[in-house]
Amino acid sequence: MSSSGAAGHAQVPGEPNHTRRFATIWIVATLIALPLVIFVLGPHMPPGNGSEQASGKVTDNTVLAAMATPVMLLVVIYLIYSTIAFRQPKGGALEGPAVRGDARVQTAWIVITSALVLSLAVYGTVRLESDYGAGSGNGPSPLVVPSGPKLPVQVIAQQWQFTYRYPTYGGIETTHLYLPVDRMIELHVTSIDVIHSFWAYQLGVKADANPDVDNIAFVKPTKLETFDVRCAELCGIWHGYMRDKGHVVTQAAFETWIHEQQSRLAPARKVLPPYRRTYLPEPIRRGG
Amino acid sequence: MTSTAAPVPPGATSRPLWRRLAGFNLLSAVILGVAGYYIGWLIGHHIGGPSYKYEASADENDVALLLGYAGGVVGFLVGLGFANYPISRMLGRPASLREKEGEGVGRYFGLCTDHKVVGIQYLVGIGLFLFIGGLNAMLIRVELLKPSATFVGPNQYLSLVGMHGTMMIGMMTSGVLGPFANYFVPIMIGARRMAFPRVEALTFWLLMAAGFILVTTIFFGGFPTGWTGYAPLNDQAVRGMDSYICFFALVGVSMTLLGLNMVVTIVTMRAPGLTWSRLPIFVWSVLATGVTMVLAAPMLIATLLMAALDRTINTSFFVVGGGGSSYLFQNLFWFFGHPEVYILALPGFGIVLELLPVFTRKPLWGYRLAVAGMFGVSLMSFFVWQHHLFVSGINADLRPFFMLSTEIISIPTGFIFLCVMGTLWKARTTFTVPMLFCLAWTFNFLIGGLTGVFLSDTPSDTDTHGSFFVLAHFHYTIVGGLVFAFFGAIYYWAPKMIGLRFNERLSKLHFWLMFVSFNSTFLPLFALGMLGMPRRVSSYAPSLQTLNDWASVSAFVLGFSMLIFLYNAVRSLIFVRAPAESNPWRSKSLEWQVPTPVPVHNFDQIPVVDSDPYDYGVPLLSGGAQPATAGA
């Protein structure tokens, strides 16, 4: 896909066929680089294999990197090749060929880039919807909902910490996040002051916490591990310190932990507001 | 074409100093600006004072500060003489149509209607604020040398981040259109002036007033929101937030007027024979940018007005409990904000494509495709804003659409790359400093573009959104794209603008140091983002310290390369003063055919244009490569 096109007709005797040379270098480089990107770099792509959603995105990132590699190599090798091959001799004042375009090359370029872009968009859409939002915040009424039982967990963000409510366990509110492994979790992310963003790095989850919005994200942890929780949206001076550790534990360990919390937090539960999907920030003093 | 050097008015040097300082210039502007500030502040204090007593101390009076800023700006503009013309006309007196044209050095310190003076004013004025923005970046990187906050407190850190981002975005919006388009568009299209010379001067002085206002935020506690200024965080911030609001609103006004002036000039003032298909590609890029500015910037002004009303008189545009929505600010802001990043990128496209034919000695390859690319980008930039909100939960079902529209933008951007590559093929390239910057642009913008694909893909964006990956991506497009093109333009056009040559070896040293350290700074930041480091934090995981230190040290080298540029500029322009040739690059473009220094009214006789400015190269002898195929 070089742009010499018709200029190839004007071959100066003794001058190498630049189009063929460049194409050869590019194809060889791509054949070397692609397997490296897919098989060596690919498995190390973030965010790792902490959940079904995270693993899916390791695949996505590998696919995107594999698609970007030939394009990257095309332009970079082209730049290097043309700076070496088409130099003005020192002190020279030679003029290049007066070629103003090439309809075939331009048409081919438009068709190929459009095809690449459309396939990327289709791929992204399929991956997004088939993976229940791929760990991202889906808003209050997600388009695709996983079938079967789900464990709802509410994430409440405020300046500057996250707290968690478990509505199916009496609506207790804890400062620790424990999730059972291999179960679909339905995260309800909301805020009671400014905009925050709940980012569980190893689980591949990121969902903005907006006041008065119930932002739902689905995730199915697959690995017993401790994961990092950080706020990913600037929320004031202690934004950089708004972080936490979450834990993925076995189903049995989770049951033990949650019952212990239920009994320990029972007195506090009495003064908590009832579980709701959103909580209005207090106090509001407006309009006068 | 006869050269008419700027005539010095008789007696200008013989007048006493006080007489020369009196009048409408920067001095009177500063005096009236300060006076205006205090008048506005006093009024605000009487309006807002009593109602604030029960809630906050009087020095948290946002009304007083905003009115102070407004009064200051009005006083500043009146002091510069912007009111003279309308007042004279209203009183029925004859008004001077031209201000300070052809006068001495004093014309650079006031309202001047000569588009070349405004261009130089922009270059110096914007350069000054870019320097402040750059210093902020250095301080940010110093703080990030250690994983926990050591150097500045969290509040100062966020103010640094906010000032760096806001200053850079706000100033660089006019970074090319201000200096280079103001200076060269009229010459390139064969006109004697811009369509609205007074408005042209106004855009510059508004921008300077705005920049100063943003700097004053440090006296009012800074602002914690970064350049995006999200509500409701901006609603609870201290008075420094008002500086941000005022700054960005003024930048918005300046942008709208600048874009409008450019569009009208290009559409109505072209020389005879300069048909649309002969317009220099740089002028096309300015036109596309101008259109985008006029359509996008008013949205910013309106958004900030709502934010200011929320902060001062307790309206509830963005406050949940009062019927507003925190989504509204994000929606409105990015409806301006995404066209804005293409406003930053488009002039870079134009500069690179304008310079390449000169140094490759070939016509621009695919002229029509390049124009289509620029307008395609400009049009599509209005349909992608919600990709900034992929994880926010807003309109979640529309994400596939915004994914598609975002990825579609890479098609017209690809046109630009094809035109660059086509022009380079079988060229006779001379590696001058401007050419090196163009090649660097191509490499940097490629990386910026390809990493953008990861961000446009919603599943992948879930990890990279709000992380250092995004930060590295847009620094590649804005610094790697626009700022590299900006420096290329300085080296390319300085011989005509200033009439002096830069030192070649120092210029090359500047380029190589800047190119290597720029990549060395921002490539690791992609990895940091992928490894889970959010933006705008002063504390991070200790395991990420090595990469951060690498980036910091590289950033200091990048800062040092700017000092080399400054040294080079001061040395070449003040001490050595080697005169430049009238057309050192053997360019065929119209701006190089006028004498240096450019006469006050550019052309004695308006030129008649009979071809585009890319008439380089030798026609090929054998068939198959005829120019007739241009522009599929």
| pLDDT tens-digit readout, B267-276 | 999 999 999 9
B72 shares a domain with B180 = no
Question: For residue B457, which phi and psi values (nearest 5 degrees)?
Answer: -85, 115
B500 shares a domain with B454 = yes
Burial grade of A148 (CB within 10 A; 0-12, 13-18, 19 or more): exposed
* Residue among B364, B393, B462 whose CB faces A139 most closely: B393
Portion of chain B with pLDDT greater than 90, in percent? 72
User: A233, A242, A277, A284: which to substitute to probe chain B, counting the most B Cβ within 10 Å?
Assistant: A233
Question: Is residue B629 assigned to a domain?
Answer: no
* Residue among A95, A139, A284 whose CB faces B394 most closely: A139
Question: Is residue A195 assigned to a domain?
Answer: yes
pLDDT for A181 equals 95
Question: CA-nearest residue of chain B to A83?
Answer: B429
Distances (CA, A) of B454 to A64, A133, B421: 7, 16, 24
Enter the tokens of residue A176. Answer: 């620790």
pLDDT-derived band at A282, boundaries 50, 70, 90 = low
* Residue among A3, A131, A236 whose CB faces B422 most closely: A3
Question: Is residue B12 assigned to a domain?
Answer: no
Residues 6+ apart with CB under 8 A from B571: B503, B506
Side-chain-side CA neighbours of B541 within 13 Å: the count stands at 17
Of the three residues B96, B111, B139, the one that is the final residue of a domain is B96
* Residue among B154, B232, B530 whose CB faces A194 most closely: B232
Question: Is residue B414 assigned to a domain?
Answer: yes
A52 in contact with B at a CB cutoff of 8 Å? no
pTM above 0.80, yes or no: yes
Output the DSSP codes for B417-486. Answer: HHHHHHHHTT--B---HHHHHHHHHHHHHHHHHHHHHHHHSHHHHHHHTTBHHHHHHHHHHIIIIIIHHH
Residue A31, pLDDT above cutoff 80: yes
Q: Do A83 and B430 touch (CB under 8 A)?
A: no
The Cα angle at residue B442 between residues B429 and B274, in degrees rounded to 5: 70
A214 shares a domain with A180 = yes
Residue linked to tokens 């002190």: A91
B330 shares a domain with B467 = yes
Enter the tokens of residue B425. Answer: 């093929």
Question: CA-nearest residue of chain B to A202?
Answer: B532
B115 shares a domain with B39 = no
B528 shares a domain with B412 = yes
Question: CA-nearest residue of chain A to B228?
Answer: A234
What letter represents residue B49's amino acid? Answer: G
- Neighboring chain B residues of A125 at a CB cutoff of 8 Å: 400, 403-404
B25 vs A254: CA distance, rounded Å: 73
Of the three residues A73, A96, A130, the one that is the final residue of a domain is A130
| pLDDT tens-digit readout, B280-327 | 999 999 999 999 999 999 999 999 999 999 888 888 899 887 788 989
Split into its structural domains, chain A has a count of 2
Alpha carbon distance, N-terminus to C-terminus of chain B: 38
B287 shares a domain with B152 = yes
DSSP B177: I
User: B157, B230, B234, B418: which to substitute to probe chain A, counting the most A Cβ within 10 Å?
Assistant: B418
Distance from CA of A259 to the nearest CA of B (A): 32
Of the three residues B72, B96, B120, the one that is the final residue of a domain is B96
Q: Which domain holds residue A56?
A: 14-86+107-130
B264 vs B267: CA distance, rounded Å: 5
Q: Which domain holds residue B473?
A: 97-615
| pLDDT tens-digit readout, B108-150 | 888 999 999 999 999 999 999 999 999 999 999 999 999 988 8
A161 shares a domain with A116 = no
pLDDT for A133 equals 85
Residue B38, pLDDT above cutoff 70: yes
Question: Is residue A172 assigned to a domain?
Answer: yes
Taking one residue from A and the other from B, the number of pairs with CB-CB distance under 8 angstroms is 359
Phi/psi-derived region of residue B425, left when phi > 0, alpha when psi is between -120 and 50, beta in every other case: beta
Question: Is residue A2 assigned to a domain?
Answer: no
pLDDT for B624 equals 42
Could you give the residue ranges of the DSSP H alpha helices within B269-398? Answer: 281-312, 326-360, 367-380
Distance, CA of B569 to chain centre: 20
User: B55, B238, B314, B320: which to substitute to probe chain A, counting the most A Cβ within 10 Å?
Assistant: B320
A281 in contact with B at a CB cutoff of 8 Å? yes
Distance from CA of A195 to the nearest CA of B (A): 7
Dihedral sign of CA atoms B253, B254, B255, B257 in order: positive
B82 shares a domain with B101 = no
Question: Is residue B4 assigned to a domain?
Answer: no
DSSP B277: G
pLDDT for B418 equals 96
Question: For residue B31, which phi and psi values (nearest 5 degrees)?
Answer: -65, -50
pLDDT-derived band at B15, boundaries 50, 70, 90 = low
Distance from CA of A265 to the nearest CA of B (A): 29
Could you tell me if A135 and B400 are in contact, meaning their C-beta atoms sit under 8 angstroms apart? no
A66 shares a domain with A159 = no
Dihedral sign of CA atoms A110, A111, A113, A118 in order: positive
A117 shares a domain with A33 = yes
Hey, is B500 helix, strand or coil?
A: strand
pLDDT for B4 equals 43
User: Hey, what's the torsion of the CAs at B225, A239, B129, B500, to 10 degrees?
Assistant: -130
Residues 6+ apart with CB under 8 A from A166: A152, A153, A154, A172, A174, A258
Question: Is residue B627 assigned to a domain?
Answer: no
Distance from CA of B207 to the nearest CA of A (A): 27
| pLDDT tens-digit readout, B394-434 | 888 999 999 999 999 999 999 999 999 999 999 999 999 99
| ipTM value for the complex | 0.92
pLDDT-derived band at B13, boundaries 50, 70, 90 = low
Output the DSSP codes for B133-170. Answer: HHHHHHHHHHHTTSSS--SS-HHHHHHHHHHHHHHHHH
A118 shares a domain with A19 = yes
Mapping DSSP onto H, E and C, the string for chain A reads: CCCCHHHHHHCCCCCCCHHHHHHHHHHHHHHHHHHHHHHHHHHHCCCCCCEHHHHHHHHHHHHHHHHHHHHHHHHHHHHHHHHHHCECCCCCCCCCECCCCCHHHHHHHHHHHHHHHHHHHHHHHHHHHHCCCCCECCCCCCCCCCCCCCEEEEEEEECCEEEEEEHHHCCEEECCEEEECCCCEEEEEEECCCCEEEEECCCCEEEEECECCCEEEEECECCCEEEEEEECCCCCCCHHHCEEEEEEECHHHHHHHHHHHHHHHHHHHHHCCCCCCCCCCCCCCCCC
A228 shares a domain with A174 = yes
pLDDT for A3 equals 42
* Residue among A86, A234, A286 whose CB faces B226 most closely: A234
DSSP B579: B
A176 shares a domain with A79 = no
Residue B388, domain CATH: 1.20.210.10
pLDDT for A8 equals 43
Question: Is residue A50 assigned to a domain?
Answer: yes
B483 shares a domain with B540 = yes
| pLDDT tens-digit readout, B59-89 | 568 888 999 999 999 999 999 989 989 999 9
Residue A135, pLDDT above cutoff 70: yes
Enter the tokens of residue A231. Answer: 């706020």
Residue B2, pLDDT above cutoff 90: no
Phi/psi-derived region of residue B580, left when phi > 0, alpha when psi is between -120 and 50, beta in every other case: beta
Split into its structural domains, chain B has a count of 2
| pLDDT tens-digit readout, B454-507 | 999 999 999 999 999 999 999 999 999 999 999 999 999 999 998 888 999 999
Residue B188, pLDDT above cutoff 80: yes
User: Angle, nearest 10°, between helix axes B281-312 and B326-360?
Assistant: 160
pLDDT-derived band at A285, boundaries 50, 70, 90 = low
pLDDT-derived band at B331, boundaries 50, 70, 90 = very high
Burial grade of B219 (CB within 10 A; 0-12, 13-18, 19 or more): exposed
Q: Do A72 and B366 touch (CB under 8 A)?
A: no
Distances (CA, A) of A89 to A85, A96, B59, B578: 11, 12, 68, 26
Residue A201, domain CATH: 2.60.40.420
B411 shares a domain with B280 = yes
Question: Is residue B623 assigned to a domain?
Answer: no
Side-chain-side CA neighbours of B582 within 13 Å: the count stands at 12
- Neighboring chain A residues of B230 at a CB cutoff of 8 Å: 194-195, 233-234
Residue A157, pLDDT above cutoff 70: yes
* Residue among B158, B459, B623 whose CB faces A128 most closely: B459
A162 shares a domain with A122 = no
Distances (CA, A) of A181 to A48, A175, A200, A267, B220: 16, 19, 15, 29, 49
Question: Is residue B536 assigned to a domain?
Answer: yes
Question: Is residue A238 assigned to a domain?
Answer: yes
A14 in contact with B at a CB cutoff of 8 Å? no
Question: Is residue A102 assigned to a domain?
Answer: no
B605 shares a domain with B515 = yes
Long-range Cβ pairs for the range B504-509 (8 Å, 24+): B504/B433, B506/B564, B506/B567, B506/B568, B506/B571, B506/B572, B507/B433, B507/B568, B508/B433, B508/B436, B509/B564
User: A136, A202, A229, A284: which to substitute to probe chain B, counting the most B Cβ within 10 Å?
Assistant: A136
Q: Do B617 and A93 touch (CB under 8 A)?
A: no
Please identify among residues 129-148 of chain A the ones whose CB lies closer than 8 Å to any CB of chain B.
129, 131, 133-140, 142-143
Distance from CA of A138 to the nearest CA of B (A): 5
pLDDT-derived band at A90, boundaries 50, 70, 90 = confident
Give the closest residue to B345 by CA, choosing from B218, B169, B582, B470. B169
Enter the tokens of residue B331. Answer: 């929606």
B316 vs A168: CA distance, rounded Å: 35
Question: Is residue A79 assigned to a domain?
Answer: yes
- Neighboring chain B residues of A236 at a CB cutoff of 8 Å: 224, 233, 236
Q: What is the mean pLDDT of residues B216-237?
A: 90
- Neighboring chain B residues of A127 at a CB cutoff of 8 Å: 459
Question: CA-nearest residue of chain B to A213?
Answer: B393
A200 shares a domain with A165 = yes
* Residue among B465, B540, B629 whose CB faces A101 most closely: B629
Enter the tokens of residue B465. Answer: 């959104």
B150 shares a domain with B51 = no
pLDDT for B343 equals 94
Question: For residue B42, which phi and psi values (nearest 5 degrees)?
Answer: -65, -45
B84 shares a domain with B126 = no
Please identify among residues 56-115 of chain A the ones whose CB lies closer than 8 Å to any CB of chain B.
56-57, 60-61, 64, 67-68, 71-72, 75-76, 78-79, 82-83, 86-88, 92-107, 109-110, 113-114
| pLDDT tens-digit readout, B513-523 | 999 999 999 99
The radius of gyration of chain A's CA atoms, rounded to the nearest angstrom, is 27
Residue B259, pLDDT above cutoff 50: yes
Question: Is residue B267 assigned to a domain?
Answer: yes
A252 shares a domain with A165 = yes
Question: Is residue A278 assigned to a domain?
Answer: no
Side-chain-side CA neighbours of B163 within 13 Å: the count stands at 33
DSSP B365: T
A227 shares a domain with A170 = yes
